[in-house]
Amino acid sequence: MNYKRAIEELKRERKAVVLAHNYQVLQVQEVADFVGDSLELARLSAGVHAEIIVFAGVYFMAETAKILNPQKLVLLPEKDARCPMADMVDASKVRELRSMYPDAAFVAYVNTNADVKAEVDIVCTSANAVKVVNSLPQRRVVFLPDQNLAHWVSLNTNKEIIPYPGYCYVHRDFDPEAVARLKEENPDAEVIVHPESRPEVVKMADRVFSTSGMIKYVGQSPSKKFIVVTEEGLLERLRKLYPQKQILSPGMKGVCTDMKKISLRSVYLSLKELKYEVKVPEEIAQRARRAIEKMLEIT
């Protein structure tokens, strides 16, 4: 079966759009109307003109799209495609931390579920985390759930950052020794790193970017060779966009298995059978929406 053709036909018939994260496999990216990082897709979902949004990503991303589009049908092609980091924190833990740090602002990475977004002051992405934190009047900031992104923010602000001990297993598993070895073997390569990586890896970077920041930078840089430390879906996209440039990876561990659960077939079935619908209780959605919209206003 030609899934790409069938998906295009169903998109027209259903008045639907497909949004895909940069970590999706190339075949899924190719049928998407928009491909981007969390910030780009949040912006796009807030203004998309369609009756149905199929989100080729993980659960919290589709949930965020639903929060910003309460009247639209939002579908996640694989119901068990989740973000382990997002599941490391819940609303009760945020409330507990609130009692411990009553004078602090609370910032949640967009990689959190709706119940957490509803409990914090503002949301951020890896692309705008520093800007969001620096916009706040409070001197202390509880940042959750990613301790590594929190560390990166702490290097770029005068505020006291109180990190939550969560992490992205994909970026945590990049080996600093492997990065150092690849740098030594390729002294002419620029090293660009995602801020979810461990501090020892970030320290070796020439540039630290979100996934979309990486795409933009590689396209503009005169360099011909890059060591890119992030999930393999982004590496595949870079190689397709810039075939004249050499994209190296410090290892084969950089795979988000939940992202890779989504296939062309599951996108097709999601459109055909309208599954799996993402719903958010309105009371939680209203509070989470405020935190997301504050971020969008700043950025």
Q: What is the pLDDT of residue 48?
A: 82
CA angle 298, 67, 20 (to 5 degrees): 85
Q: What is the pLDDT of residue 252?
A: 62
pLDDT tens by residue, 35-74: 998 778 877 887 888 999 999 999 999 999 999 999 999 9
Domains 3-83+259-280 and 174-248 are alike in CATH topology: yes
Q: What is the pLDDT of residue 267?
A: 98
Rounded CA Rg of the chain: 19
Q: Could you report the average pLDDT of every consecutive run of 10 residues in the chain (299 residues)? A: 96 96 94 88 82 96 93 96 98 98 97 98 95 97 98 98 97 94 96 97 97 95 97 93 96 85 98 97 97 91
- All structural domains of the chain with their residue ranges: 3-83+259-280, 86-167+287-298, 174-248
Amino acid found at 296: L
Among candidates 169, 194, 192, 211, which has minimal Cα distance to 24?
211
158 by Cβ neighbours in 10 Å (0-12 / 13-18 / 19+) ranks as exposed
Strands 52-56 and 73-75: parallel
- Residue 21 dihedral angles phi and psi, to the nearest 5°: -75, 155
In CATH, which superfamily holds the domain spanning 86-167+287-298? NadA-like (3.40.50.10800)
Return the H-helix or E-strand segment holding 150.
helix 147-154
CATH 2.60.120.10 assigned to 3-83+259-280: no
pTM over 0.85: yes
Tokens of 177: 């020794």
Could you tell me the fold of the domain covering 174-248? Rossmann fold (3.40.50)
Are 290 and 115 in contact, with CB atoms under 8 Å apart? no
